[in-house]
Amino acid sequence: MKRFFMLAVATMLAVSARADEGMWLLPLLQKMNKSALKEAGCHLSPAEIYSAGKTSLKDAIVHFGGGCTGEIISDEGLVVTNHHCGYSHIQALSTPEHNYLMDGFWAMTRAEEIPCKGLTVTFLQSMEDVTATLEKAGKKAGKDASDEEKAKAVQERRQELLDAAKKANPGCEVGIVPFYNDNVAYLIVSKVYRDVRFVGAPPASIGKFGGETDNWMWPRHTGDFSMFRVYAGADNEPADFAPENRPYQPKKHLKISLKGLKSQDYTMILGYPGRTQRFQTAPQLAQMIATNRIRIDARTLRQGIMWEAMCADPDVQLKYANKYASSANGWKKWQGEELAFEKLDIIGREQRKEAAFMDWVAEKRSRIDAYGGALTRIQEAVKAAAADENAITLITEVPFRIELVTIASRFAAAAGKGPRQDNALTPEALKMGLEAVRSYYRDYVPELDRKEAAALLAYYREQADSADFLQGLGEDFATMDIPAYVDKLFSNSVFTSAEKLGEAINGEQAAEVIAGDPASLLHRAVIAAALAHYPNYTAQAKLLQEGSRQFAAGLLEWEKGQPSYPDANSTMRLTWGHVLPYSPKDAVLYRHYSTLTGVMEKEDPENPEFIVPARLKELYRTRDFGPYADAADGMVHTCFLTNNDITGGNSGSPVLNADGELVGLAFDGNWESMSSDVMFEPDLQRCICVDIRYVLFLVDRFGGAPHIVKELDIVK
């Protein structure tokens, strides 16, 4: 036993010493990562993973709904992603009578697949480095050209590139995206499909098993997946929803392996990581932690009120499920980040890195002009912007979170785009406003919002600088009776329901009524408070951007010759690594996988986050696992750990084995390394994945949808 343990620790250290850090850019794999990939155990060549011209793995990966990743797993456009990525759509399709969120759903025929309004999936076509082309355009403007003239020349070249790409790729979206803090630019071509239909998902008791308690944590037992299908027009190209659209015929779909993985096995993930801060400096990181704290405290207050109302009424629970989950996800992440910053001395380590960088700059005298001032410039800008940034954060997290303000804001934004007459909104413009907010009311509970509003306004008055107090409410914010004001607000505003709003915009003096509505006044007061901070904040942000660009350029030169990857920016990346256990603290070693047994152990009928459906218990009791049990232990494995380098946006990403076959979906990070967006922690950082065998077990045995499994390409 002891020998086994020592051996396990020794191999763990040996592997983790080779840090599998990096969210690598696909077009650079060949040049930067070819041998490392092979050495790590990958059986595919870079061209099989990404190729601009030929079909490659990347053609099976989609940006799902703009914020997650999904992958194509059949030749009829079937997409799998996380349950939490499909969550808002599943919730929007659910009613108390057809509660797909709580009860789960499987379309038994194509006709039963349900269109998801507004949901898109995006396929990457190609990405091309255009940095040199743009730089050349700037230089061509001439030595004596002013900065403005140079910027204009670059801008013109950008437009030419975009126009040419648009012409060469009809029906595609094109964009030029900055990388490495604006030191590098890529031209990215992608294709967006907009008829996407819900195929199925397990009930939330499985798809979100463990709820907020287990979120960001290991050991984990969540069946975090859902399925959709991409539809296309008769020509297989993107089309608006139409009943006659056909399942999209993909260039590539992923094969699925039921073999499972052992500790130390190779894994890779292709996906769309959203944002990281790995090029940020110590002062920026300290400021990030400060604004996070403002957000955490505000959300603690708001979520507490929401949670109470949700627990008291199942209707409210369904309506607020998605609002609560997305608020709580960030709230918990920032708390973990704060703790990890402290424990792992993130800022101290960043400071030491910066000191070493400055030593290098001092040694390389020729680079002093280029990089010597970057860190000071950043530090000064962060300091000069901090008070404004904190104030804006407080405003966005507190009064702006009153839903009535959100509604008034969306209404104003949409109506503002409509026509005016004598500077007043026309009936047509008002109608545009109403249409923009109509769907919001579906999940809106005014009594809950009223409670939140009273608490949020009182909290804001306590926390805000008096200069930021809300003006123009018809009362003095500093002294007013907040509960009485909120009562009047909710009794008198027409924004509390679609009916009242509809009546008002069709009534007499509609434009005046809307402009003078107490919710409009509150919305304008909140905006005015925020706007007061913008001139300085944006001026500093510009200086910060310039300093950050220089610093990143310096870092790249400092580490020249070593492979490097830019911060995540919602573009497709590859991370490779290995299946690995970890030790969260002294004397504790976490195994690299969890099983259905753990689901049963966590069951708590008293706690809505840990309900286990009776059918799952029955399947467990009878060991009715089919081909989905692990060959070694005969049990269904639920989740597993790898050291792949991911962040938010990677949710739903395919976890692939050395042969590029799908073995799981990435869905979370672990609590002990919540600083991972800033620094990769080889010993602690893990990616939490749901095992594809659990997914298929749930579709086939639990969901009773074997026809879905038949559609898949399973390698035996």
Residue in this structure with the two tokens 């013109």, named with its chain if needed: 156
CA–CA separation, 616 and 600 (whole Å)? 9
Tell me which of 236, 264, 291, 329 binds ligand ARG, using CB under 6 A: 329
Least CB distance from residue 397 to ligand ARG, whole Å? 18
Residues between 85 and 144 with contacts to ligand ARG, criterion CB under 6 A? none
663 SS3 class: strand
Q: Which two tokens stand for residue 188?
A: 């990215």
Q: Which stretch binds ligand ARG (CB under 6 A): 322-330, 348-356, 496-504, 517-525?
A: 322-330
Is omega for the bond preceding 608 within 30 degrees of 0, making it cis? Answer: no
Least CB distance from residue 3 to ligand ARG, whole Å? 37
CA–CA separation, 80 and 85 (whole Å)? 10
Residues between 660 and 699 with contacts to ligand ARG, criterion CB under 6 A? 668
| Cβ proximity to ligand ARG, 72 vs 325, nearer residue | 325
Q: Which residue is catalytic, options 59, 195, 214, 224?
A: 224
Residues in contact with ligand ARG, total (CB under 6 A)? Answer: 12
| Cβ proximity to ligand ARG, 122 vs 653, nearer residue | 653
Least CB distance from residue 311 to ligand ARG, whole Å? 16
Least CB distance from residue 335 to ligand ARG, whole Å? 12
In angstroms, the Cα distances linking 258 to 82, 375, 689, 693 are 19, 50, 15, 6
235 CB contacts (<8 Å, ≥6 apart)?
A: none
Burial of 389-407, coded b for 16+ CB within 10 Å and e otherwise, reads: bbbbbbbebbbbbbbbbbb
Question: How crowded is residue 93: how many other Cβ atoms within 10 Å of its Cβ?
Answer: 18
The residue among 256, 211, 56, 106 whose CA lies nearest residue 604 is: 211
Least CB distance from residue 713 to ligand ARG, whole Å? 27
250 SS3 class: coil
Q: 423 — alpha (psi -120 to 50), left (phi > 0) or beta?
A: left
* Site membership for ligand ARG, residue 651 (CB under 6 A): yes
| Cβ proximity to ligand ARG, 280 vs 651, nearer residue | 651
| Cβ proximity to ligand ARG, 71 vs 468, nearer residue | 71
| Cβ proximity to ligand ARG, 176 vs 666, nearer residue | 666
Provide the mask over 607-646, with x wherever binding to ligand ARG is found by CB under 6 A and - wherever it is not: ----------------------------------------
Q: Which two tokens stand for residue 257?
A: 């392996």
Surface-to-core class of residue 535, CB atoms within 10 Å of its CB (0-12 exposed, 13-18 middle, 19+ buried): exposed
Least CB distance from residue 212 to ligand ARG, whole Å? 5
Least CB distance from residue 423 to ligand ARG, whole Å? 45
* Site membership for ligand ARG, residue 463 (CB under 6 A): no
* Residue 673 annotated as catalytic: no
Q: Which residue is catalytic, options 63, 83, 84, 253?
A: 84
In DSSP terms, 654 is beta-bridged to 665
Q: Which stretch binds ligand ARG (CB under 6 A): 168-176, 324-332, 412-420, 452-460?
A: 324-332
| Cβ proximity to ligand ARG, 328 vs 480, nearer residue | 328
Least CB distance from residue 697 to ligand ARG, whole Å? 21
| Cβ proximity to ligand ARG, 215 vs 643, nearer residue | 215
Residues between 176 and 195 with contacts to ligand ARG, criterion CB under 6 A? none
Least CB distance from residue 337 to ligand ARG, whole Å? 12
CB 570 within 8 A of CB 271: no
Least CB distance from residue 655 to ligand ARG, whole Å? 14
* Residue 84 annotated as catalytic: yes
Q: Which two tokens stand for residue 701?
A: 């045995």
> Phi and psi of 351, rounded to 5°?
-60, -40
Q: Which stretch binds ligand ARG (CB under 6 A): 259-267, 325-333, 493-501, 690-698?
A: 325-333
Tell me which of 325, 415, 453, 574 binds ligand ARG, using CB under 6 A: 325
SS (H, E, C) 147-186: HHHHHHHHHHHHHHHHHHHHHHCCCCEEEEEEECCCCEEE
Which helix (H) or strand (E) covers residue 217, if one does? none
Q: Which stretch binds ligand ARG (CB under 6 A): 18-26, 180-188, 323-331, 541-549?
A: 323-331
| Cβ proximity to ligand ARG, 264 vs 326, nearer residue | 326
| Cβ proximity to ligand ARG, 257 vs 647, nearer residue | 647
* Site membership for ligand ARG, residue 245 (CB under 6 A): no
Tell me which of 58, 63, 84, 693 binds ligand ARG, using CB under 6 A: 84
One-letter identity of residue 590: Y
The C-alpha angle 694, 700, 704, rounded to 5 degrees, equals 135
The residue among 438, 444, 392 whose CA lies nearest residue 415 is: 438
The residue among 502, 394, 389, 519 whose CA lies nearest residue 446 is: 519
CA–CA separation, 467 and 343 (whole Å)? 37
One-letter identity of residue 438: R
Pairing of the two strands 24-25 and 424-425: unpaired
| Cβ proximity to ligand ARG, 25 vs 689, nearer residue | 689
Provide the mask over 200-229, with x wherever binding to ligand ARG is found by CB under 6 A and - wherever it is not: --------x--xx--xx-------------
Residues between 35 and 54 with contacts to ligand ARG, criterion CB under 6 A? none
| Cβ proximity to ligand ARG, 183 vs 303, nearer residue | 303
In angstroms, the Cα distances linking 370 to 240, 356, 360, 664 are 50, 17, 13, 45
* Residue 651 annotated as catalytic: yes
Least CB distance from residue 599 to ligand ARG, whole Å? 15
87-92 long-range Cβ contacts below 8 angstroms, 24+ apart:
87/207, 87/208, 87/226, 87/321, 87/322, 87/325, 88/322, 88/326, 89/65, 89/116, 89/119, 89/198, 90/198, 90/201, 90/226, 91/318, 91/321, 91/322, 91/443, 92/116, 92/117, 92/442, 92/443
* Site membership for ligand ARG, residue 570 (CB under 6 A): no
| Cβ proximity to ligand ARG, 238 vs 271, nearer residue | 271
CB 357 within 8 A of CB 296: no
Residue in this structure with the two tokens 């040199």, named with its chain if needed: 132
Q: Which residue is catalytic, options 190, 594, 651, 673?
A: 651
* Site membership for ligand ARG, residue 648 (CB under 6 A): yes
In DSSP terms, 78 is beta-bridged to 229
The residue among 362, 329, 340 whose CA lies nearest residue 285 is: 340
Least CB distance from residue 300 to ligand ARG, whole Å? 16
The C-alpha angle 673, 675, 679, rounded to 5 degrees, equals 100
Surface-to-core class of residue 315, CB atoms within 10 Å of its CB (0-12 exposed, 13-18 middle, 19+ buried): exposed
Least CB distance from residue 224 to ligand ARG, whole Å? 7
| Cβ proximity to ligand ARG, 219 vs 648, nearer residue | 648
Active site residues: 84, 224, 651
Interacting residues toward ligand ARG by CB under 6 A: 84, 208, 211-212, 215-216, 325, 328-329, 648, 651, 668
